[in-house]
Every structure is written in C-alpha cells, then in structure tokens.
Amino acid sequence: MATAPNPIGEPVNRIDGPLKVTGEARYAAEFTPPNLTHGYVVTSAVARGRIIGFDLAAARSFPGVIEVFTHENRPNTAWLDLKYKDQTAPPGHPFRPLHDEHILYSGQPIALVVADSFEAARDAAALVRAQIEPSGHATDIHHAKERAYKPPVGRAGFAGAPSPRGNADKAFAAAPIQVEAEYSVAIEHHNPMEPHATTVQWNADGSLDIHDKIQGVTNSQGYVAGVFGLSKDKVRVATPFVGGAFGSGLRPQYQLFLAVMASLALERSVRVVLTRDQMWTHVYRPHTLQTVKLGAREDGTLTAIKHDAIAGTSTFEDHQEVVVNWSGMLYHCDNVSLSHKLARLDTYTPSDMRAPGGALGVFALESAMDELAHAANVDPIELRLRNYSLEDENENKRFSSKALRACYERGAAAIDWSRREPQPRRSRDGRELAGMGMATGVWEARSNVATVRIVLDTDGKLKVSTASADIGTGTYTILAQIAGETLGLPVDDITVKLGDSDFPFAPIEGGSMTAATVGNAVRLAGEAMQDDLFKHAAKIKDGPFTKLSKDDVVFADGRIEVKADRGTGLSYGEILKARGLDRLEAKKTSTPPMLKKLKYVGYTHSAIFAEVRVDEELGQVRVIRLVIAAAAGRILNAQTARSQIMGAAVMAVGKTLEEETMTDNRIGRFMNHNLAEYHVPVNADIGDIEVLFVEEDDALSPIDVKGIGEVGIVGTGAAIANAVFNATGKRVRDLPITIDKLL
Ligand code: MOS
C-alpha cells in the first residue's frame, strides 16, 4: 500500500499552472527558431469552382517576400489518400491543400505567401490575385437533405446507427401518448484561445522539429511523414501545451501542411498562424436536423422511440457522429428505430466538437422527454426513473457502472427541484419569468492504447513521460497524482513530460479517453517499478528486507518501509545507490479491456438541472444556475474534474443560447467569422454552476476512471431549453435560443 501527501481525488493545483500564468508555457506559434520565415494563408472567396490562374507579380515583388506557393508550384506530395489519413480521419478523401485547381469550399487555402516577417507576408497576401471560375455550389442543408445518404462505413471506433428492434412505427401509432418534433442545431465554429498554428524548424540534416496546434503529436508526425514521404525519425513534433482545443485539434489541419511544405521547399524554418477569422475556414460542428418520435403509455413509460438525424458533411469526406444511438441506450424501450444520414455540402469537412453527436442528439432526445413529461403530466425526473435502463439495449450489455439514479437525487436536492412549478408560466421573479428544467447527460467512457515511461533517480525524483497531450484538462497533474499514489511519492517530487513524439507513443487526447488510458499506463508502470524496487531492496546485503516479501512492506514517502515496523526502511535513493544504479526505469502500455468489453459497455452519466430567468419584453434568457451531478467513476482530482464539467457547461450555454455560424447560401460562405458577430459566452452570461460527483467503482477501467472532458455539455442544452419552456411555455427546438425565437 502506498500513501502520498497528494493522493488521488484531492484538489491538487495544476502542476503546470505556474508555467502558464508566467508565460513560460510555450504554444505552437511561440517557438522561434533562428532565421524564421512567416507564411500567410490566402483563401478562396468562392465556394465551388476552378482556379483559372494567378497574378502573383505584385505579391512576389513585395519587399521581404521569399516565395508565393500555389498548386502550380508546390512541391510534390504523396499520391495515395492513405498517406493523408490521420488518426481520426473519417472515410473518404482527405483534403489536400494546394493540390490542384479545384475549389471545394469557401475559405479553402489557395496560396501561401512566405516572407521574412509576418507583416510582409500579410501585406503581400492581400496582393495575390486569383482568377476563379465559379460553378454551382450547395451549402444549405435544407436543400441538400433530399439527397442525404447513409454513410457507407462508420469512422474508426464510431459505430453507425444500431439496427432497429421491435416495430417502432407500429408501437408509435398505437401509443396513447405521442410526441413528435423536429430539432435543429446550428453550425458552431471552434474558437479556442490558441488559434491553429504551426512552427517548423528546419534542420540542416533535413530533419524537422515541428510545433503544431494538435491534440496529439503522433497524429501530426504520422501525417507529415506520410504526406511528405519522410521517415518518422526525421519528423519530431513537440507540443507541450495546447491552448484549448475541444476537438478542433484532433486532426492535422492545413496550416501544418503549408508550413511543412514551405519549409522543405525553402530549406528554411517557417511559421504559419491562422488569423481569428481564418478559424472559420475549418473545424466546426455540423449543422444537424433531427426528428424524434416518442410513443408512451399513459404513465409515461416508453413504447416507441424513433430518432432520425441528417447532418452536413463535405463533398469529400463522410464525417459521421454518434447522434442518434443515445436514444436506444438511455432508456428502456422495446421498439426503437434510429437513423443517421449525411448531406454533402460544398463546405470543409465538419469536425468533432466537444461531445460530437452527443451534444446534438441528446439535446433532441432530452427535449422530447420533457415534452413527453408535460404531455403525460409526469414529473420529468419521475419520467426518467420510470424508463430507467439497467443495460445498453442497443448492445444488450450491462453498464460497467451507472450511478445515474444517485445523480438525479443529488442534483434535485442541490437545486431544490421541489420549488419547480410543474405548469409553465406559473413562476415569476420580479419582471422576469422563472423556470426550471432538467435532463440526462451521457458520454462514452472508453480507453485507448498508450505507453508511458517512468524514470526514478537517486534523489528519489520521478520523471513521467508520454507523447500524450494535455489540452487543458489537467493531464499533467492527474498523471503526477497517479504516479505519486502508486509509488508513494509526493507530487512535488514528480515531473511529467507530455506532448513530444520522441516520448513513448500515445494517440490523440480525445473522446474523454486520456485519463483512463494514460492514467492506467502510469499505474502499470508504477506497479512494475514497485516490483523492481523491492527486488533490488531485498538484495541489499544486511538490509531490512532480506527475509521479507513485497506483501510485508509499504511504499510511502519515497521509501520502502517494513509494514510491521514502520520507520524501518530505506529511501528509494538509498536503494538505488546501494545497488549501484543511477536510475530505474519502467515502461508500460495500457490497452482497452477487450475481454470485459464482451460483457460490459462503459458510459459516464449525469443529471443536469437548470434554472433560468426570461425577460419576455427583451427575449433575453439568463441561466442563473446550473447543477450537474455526474457519475464518472473515480474522480482523480476534484479541482480539475470540476473545471472540466464547468467548462463544458459554459460551452453548453454558448451552444444553447448564443453560438451560431450563419451561412450566406447565395455565395456559400460563413458570414459572421469573427468574435464580434459570433457570440460566445462571457463571464456576465454565466450564473452559478455547481458540480457534484457520485463516485463509482467501474467494471471496465482498472483504475475506475471514466472520462469527464465531454459529458458536461451533453444534455445541458436540453436542461436549459426545458427550463425556458417551464418559464415561458415556449418550446424552442432550434438552437441557439436567440432573442427572436422568444419574442
Ligand atoms: Mo474531443 S471532441 O474528442 O477533443
């Protein structure tokens, strides 16, 4: 048994916090190799068409300009699609920047100006003239949905909609209570604080040191090696810090391609940073239309669920999300039919955005459940309890753990649900209408494959390293806590190094999988080191352990001590020195529990409660209070875990009330491509957020850990929309719930 001053669960401050607040933590665009050049991207204002030609004379002769790259003079790159596929690429043909004359979407990069300063590159970029012949484009999902198709194959790890069970149509037709409604969620663009950026350091031996805005350095490394035909040992990607990503950094983006291309061609170091408005040329949540039908008995128990979704994708990739599957696993129901289709649009491929699919589908399902509660005159919590499911009926497998009942109870108590008026428009607070709503949240609790190395030195200090990222979630800190608990070391004696492709392999930090995956690898490595340490300790001549087995000792305070005689023991440093070692190393890989997965499915669950005020004269909604009670296995760090849920709740407020990318379909372009016209929540928009955790043991995770990066946004939109209905009697099914929809 090990003990440490900062054990698991404690609200340990981020160990990388001081680096971040002092500016020591460097991000992709903050590395400055010698003789750095700067690339500025020129994009297409046409949504579909063909480049006839360029006039580059003015740009090329601009002082400081080194080269202007277009498809006409770019260096050769790989031919096979496979070489452009990254770790999370959907099926289809990955976009190839500057590939040929074809324009596939508005905002497509068509040229890169490289100059000796950012300002020169930017000024010269404004002088690039492209002659583009437009052809017809389609960017409106409402028109394209007639041609929507079922994606041929799911993305790796993303199953398509499950097969139907029972007969949903028949059961719906026979149901005494029927709810049928259409929902839509607008396009949302990713806007983390750190924009997409890449700095490539070109080395004389032909190798590259790359700093890229990415959620996994191994993804960028593999992409660059594949596309440019380089061996991986010539491509090092180091991204120790990520300024927020939320899915925007899962896939390598075009600035990486452009920076590497220019660097190889010019044999110079190159940095390419996207401007804030260029953030609207990629990474966004797809426009999604949904229909939900719920059939129920008089008491609200479900007899039929039909959930159909159509989402936008590009013309070249099938970006499929898990939108409808939740409707087949969240509640018990014998007749279920689910479908998910894609509509091809002349846009860039959508991307994952915090709880991709879940944030959309559960909004619709949980809004419909509220409509059902109202129609059946059953309390919304009671309705969910009456339909509670003990297994995932899509897969006929038990949940590895599901303390959702306790979440409903704890959340309801925290917000004092008994204050809620069951009928809408019955509650006022001064001149505002008051309302309360709730919903269920859910997200996958999965794990992946990752390797961790730990090294102990003679000072008793431990170094943990893996290529995995910390995208702001607190990975540095929880890994130190897990290593500390396993080996009985204080967090202060542990250094964690992340985000470097030279470190042991880890995939992208995504899907809320990192804590369960990398955390388990740290634990395994720690246990291996315990064994090793004890073997060495037992061999020390005349030492305290010669006649003992590992069960007779404890690993605590950086020492091995005799259990029966605490105080008798040796420090790790003493053990290493006595054995003539200058370090001890352990390297372990965590893999998903394949056998257990035959029996169990893993999900994180939550109950979300929202309290709103609505000013009917102004149409303004204020979310004054959110309570999110989450059953997320064992909480590794009370502080960083709470921050994950809070951050996701803030994103949910944005998605539900503010964020909306508007398209001018006549020209096929996103119009509000700046943070003045695209609204994200500010502090004044956020009321009180309370986060509660119901701890669980889990049958799938060896360390009882379930991811919490995404669950906080799932269902939260529905809880807010349901509260708005409770306040106003108006059911808004199109997100965001902007003022115009309430007036
Ligand atoms: Mo998350 S959308 O898997 O970064």
In a mutational test of the pocket of ligand 1, which residue from 219, 352, 443, 517 has the highest number of ligand atoms less than 8 Å from its CB? Answer: 352
Same CATH fold assignment for domains 2-24+447-591 and 146-188+284-446+598-741: yes
Is 354 a pocket residue for ligand 1 (Cβ < 6 Å)?
yes
For residue 145, the model assigns a pLDDT of 87
Distances (CA, A) of 423 to 433, 603, 627, 720: 13, 33, 21, 16
Residue 499, Cβ density class (10 Å: 0-12 exposed, 13-18 middle, ≥19 buried):
buried
Digit-coded pLDDT (tens) for 378-400: 999 999 999 999 999 999 999 99
CA of 709, closest atom in ligand 1? 1
Is 356 a pocket residue for ligand 1 (Cβ < 6 Å)?
yes
Give the span between the Cα atoms of 448 and 157, in whole angstroms. 10
For residue 4, the model assigns a pLDDT of 59
pLDDT band of residue 160 (cuts 50, 70, 90) is confident
Would you state the CATH architecture of domain 2-24+447-591? 2-Layer Sandwich (3.30)
Owner of token pair 């699919």: 357
In this structure, how many other beta carbons lie within 10 angstroms of the beta carbon of residue 595? 7
Digit-coded pLDDT (tens) for 236-284: 999 999 999 999 999 999 999 999 999 999 999 999 999 999 999 999 9
Averaged pLDDT, 282-290: 97
Give the span between the Cα atoms of 359 and 661, in whole angstroms. 17
Task: Give the orientation angle of helix 358-376 with respect to helix 716-728, to 10 degrees.
Answer: 30
CA of 355, closest atom in ligand 1? 2
Is 352 a pocket residue for ligand 1 (Cβ < 6 Å)?
yes
Percent of the chain with pLDDT over 90: 97
CB 241 within 8 A of CB 25: yes
The string of DSSP letters for 517-576 reads HHHHHHHHHHHHHHHHHHHHHHTSTT-TTTT--GGGEEEETTEEEETTEEEEEEEHHHHH
Which residue, among 624, 179, 212, has the nearest Cα to 434 in the 3D structure? Answer: 624
For residue 5, the model assigns a pLDDT of 64
- Residue 400: both structure tokens together: 């590895």
Mean pLDDT, rounded, of the chain: 96
Distances (CA, A) of 397 to 339, 352, 598: 21, 27, 8
How many whole angstroms from 356 Cα to the centroid of ligand 1?
7
How many whole angstroms from 196 Cα to the centroid of ligand 1?
16
1 pLDDT more than 50: no
CA of 246, closest atom in ligand 1? 4
Owner of token pair 């690429």: 89
CB 187 within 8 A of CB 660: yes
Q: Could you tell me which residue, 38 or 154, shows the higher pLDDT?
A: 38
CB 316 within 8 A of CB 93: yes
Degrees (nearest 5) of the Cα angle 194, 200, 201?
Answer: 130
Of the residues 317, 366, 660, 710, only one is catalytic, namely: 710
For ligand 1, atom 4: residue with the closest CA: 247
CA of 510, closest atom in ligand 1? 3
Averaged pLDDT, 415-443: 98
For residue 273, the model assigns a pLDDT of 98
How many whole angstroms from 46 Cα to the centroid of ligand 1?
30
Distances (CA, A) of 325 to 35, 353, 392, 395: 52, 17, 10, 10
Averaged pLDDT, 462-472: 97
Distances (CA, A) of 457 to 393, 575, 586: 51, 11, 12
Q: What CATH class does 146-188+284-446+598-741 carry?
A: alpha beta
The string of DSSP letters for 588-629 reads EEE---TTGGGTEE-EEEEEEEEEEEEETTTTEEEEEEEEEE
Is 443 a pocket residue for ligand 1 (Cβ < 6 Å)?
no
How many whole angstroms from 378 Cα to the centroid of ligand 1?
35
CB 293 within 8 A of CB 270: no
Q: Where are the domains of the chain?
A: 2-24+447-591, 31-136+193-244+249-279, 146-188+284-446+598-741
Q: Catalytic annotation on 677?
A: no
Strands (E), 297-373: 302-313, 336-344
| CATH code matching the domain that covers 31-136+193-244+249-279, chosen among 3.90.1170.50, 3.40.30.10, 3.40.50.740, 3.40.50.720 | 3.90.1170.50
How many whole angstroms from 422 Cα to the centroid of ligand 1?
36
In this structure, how many other beta carbons lie within 10 angstroms of the beta carbon of residue 698? 24
